[in-house]
Structure 1
Amino acid sequence: MTESDAENGSYVEPGEFKRDTNYITTRITRDGRDGYPVEAGRYRLVAARACPWANRTLIVRRLLGLEDALSLGLCGPTHDKLSWTFDLDPGGVDPVLGIPRLRDAYLARFPEYPRGITVPAIVDVPTGQVVTNDYARITLDFSTEWVEFHRPGAPQLYPEPLRAEIDKVDEQVFHEVNNGVYRCGFAGSQEAYDAAYDRLFRALDWLTDRLSTQRYLVGDTITEADVRLFTTLARFDPVYHGHFKCNRSKLAEMPVLWDYARDLFQTPGFGDTIDFGQIKTHYYAVHRDINPTGVIPKGPDLANWLTPHDRAKLGGRPFGDGTPPPPPVPAEQVPPVPTDAEQE
C-alpha cells in the first residue's frame, strides 16, 4: 500500500466490488417510535456535495422546503480513511455540532462503530450522536414523516399510488446504475470489470427505452426515482466515463438520457445542488489506488448542461400540483456552471 493509499484508504477489491449496505436503520418519525420524533431544529443533516448518495438528500430537502426545519452541515470534497471532515468551515469545525470529523458523531453513539463513516448522516444536535445514515430511507422519510414541515406547494415525490412502481424502478436503478458505476470503477479483475460494464450499459439502454416516451421515470411528475437516477447521471461525464472506465458512451452521446438529465438539471432543486468542482476533486483526489497522481482533469465542457433539451414535448408537469422551490439561501448556493468562454 502506498503512502497515499494509507491516508485515503483503498477502494479496489479483488474480483467484484461489493458494497456494504448495512446502515444505521434508526428512523426519525412522527410518532418517534425509535426514540427520535420529527422536530424542527433538533437535527442536523450532514452531507457532502461530492457524494451522489448525499446529493439525493440535498435535492429532496430543497424540493420539499425543509431548510428551516433541518439544518445542513457540509463536509469538504475529500476525506481520509477515518472520516469525512468539516474542512470547509472556519477552523475545520462544524459550527453547530462543534466537531472536526463526522466520525465523532458516530462514535458518540456507537463507541466501537465497525463500519465506514458515510454521508449523508443525520445527527441529533442535543446529544451530538448520529441517528441514521440509511440514505435510501432518509429521503423517503423526508417525504412521508416530515410532512408537517413541508413548504406550501411541495411536490409529491413518493405518492402512495405510485410507490410500488417507484420502489421497483429504484431497486433496478440502484443495483445496475447507482452502484453499477462503482462496480466498474472498483473492479479488481478484468472479468469483474467486463461483467460490470455490460450490466451498466444494458441498464442505461433500458432507461433510454423507458424515457424515450415519457418525461419522468414514474408517472408524469418528478418522483424519488428521478432524484436517485439524476445524481449518477450528473457525475457520469465528469467522473464515471473516464475515472471509472464507464466509457462505451458519454452521457452527452446518449441523446435521450442527456436530454433527460439536462431537463432535471435545469429544474429548480436539482442543478442548484451540483458542485462539479467538488465532485471531480473528490473522486480524482481520494481514489488514489485508481488515480495515483491525484491529478484532477480540467474537462469536460460543463456549459452544455444549460443547453435546450426539448423534453417538455413529452408532457408531464415537473411539480404536479405543487410549485418550484425558491432559490437556495445564500449560504447554500453552489458555483454557477461556467460558460464556454470561462472554460477556455
Structure 2
Amino acid sequence: MNTSPHATSQVLARHDDLFSQQHLVVAGQLADNYPLNLLEQVASLQVCCSHFGHHQYFAKQANGKLSSQFSAAPSLAINSNALLLFMPKAKQEAAYLFACILPQLEVGAEIFVVGENRGGVKSCEKLLAEFGIKVKKIDSARRCGLYFGVLNQAAPQFDASQWQNSFEVALPNASLKVKSLPGVFNHGKLDEGSQMLLEHLPTLHGSVLDFGCGAGIIGASQALLHNVDISLLDVSAYAIASSKATLQENQLTGTVIASDGLSEVKQRFDFIVSNPPFHAGIDTQYETTERFLAQAKQHLNANGELWLVANSFLQYEALIKQHFSRFESVLDNKKFKILRCCV
C-alpha cells in the first residue's frame, strides 16, 4: 500500500473536519493509505477494497473504529451515513459502486467524490444525478476535484445480476461463455492481446495458473479445451467474482485465488499463462508484473513453462533472462508479443 500522499489525498487534507463523527464508507480507486488519517475524526470507518493488497493492509491495522472488506458487492453497517468515493478510472465501475453502496446509506447521507480531472471525476455529477443527488465542486487543486452532495431519497435496491455482462469467446470446436463485471480489465469483450495468446498456446497439460485472470477467459478456455487443473488468480474483487461466474456458467471446476502478486500461491504448476497488468488506475505501473516475472519460476514444476502476452513496447526480456534458463519470442506483430519462458 502506498504511504506517500497522492494528489487526491492532498486535496482532502485541506478539509480536516469533513467527516467529523460520521459513520464513513470509503470506496473506489484508493491510491494510498489516506483513510487512516480519518480515524481520529470519524465515528467509524468502513473501507471497501476491490484490491486484495489494499484489503490486507487495512485489515492489519489495529483500530476498533476500522473495518475492511474485500468484495465486489460490499455489505455495509446499517448506520452508514457518509461516503467518500475515490473516482475509478472506468466510469462504469463508478456507476456500479454508486448503485451498490447508495441503497445501503441512510437518507440524508453526505456524499463526497474525489478524483483527478484527467480521470473523469467530473462525470460523478451525471452519475449521481440519476439518484436525485445534486453535487457541487467544493475544492479544486493538484489537478483534482472534490465534489459534495446529499442523498435526499432512498436509492433503488441493488441487483448485481443487472451489471453482469455476458459474451462468448469462440474456441476450436467450443465456445466459452464469459461473465464480466465493471472494473474487470476490458470489461465485456475479449481483448486483442488475450486473443493472440489463446491462438498460440500449445496443448497444455497438468496444472495451469492463469495470473491476472480478469474474467477468467484464458484459464477457463484451457479447462474447456484440455484435461487440465486450472487456478485463476487476480488482485481484483471484480475479477474474482467474474471468474467464479465464468467457471459456473461453463460448468467447469477450478480454484480461484485472490492474491496481490503471487503472495497467496502455495503450489507449483506445469504452466503459468498470463496477460499481465501494467496499469494502476490511470497511471502506467510495471511493479506488479516485474515482481511476478521475478517470482514465477519458484511456482513452476521442473520443465514448467510461463507463457505471456505483452505490449511490444514493454521490455520484459532483460528481467526474464535473470530468472529463466531460456526464453523465446514466439510472435511479435509490433503491437503485441508472446513470450515463452522455460525453467
Q: State the TM-score bracket (shorter-chain normalisation).
A: under 0.3
Give me the TM-score of the superposition, normalised by structure 2.
0.27
Give me the TM-score of the superposition, normalised by structure 1.
0.26
Considering Cα pairs closer than 8 Å and 6+ residues apart, tell me whether 1 or 2 has the greater RCO. Answer: 1
Computing the radius of gyration from Cα coordinates, the structure with the larger value is 2
Greater share of residues in helix: 1
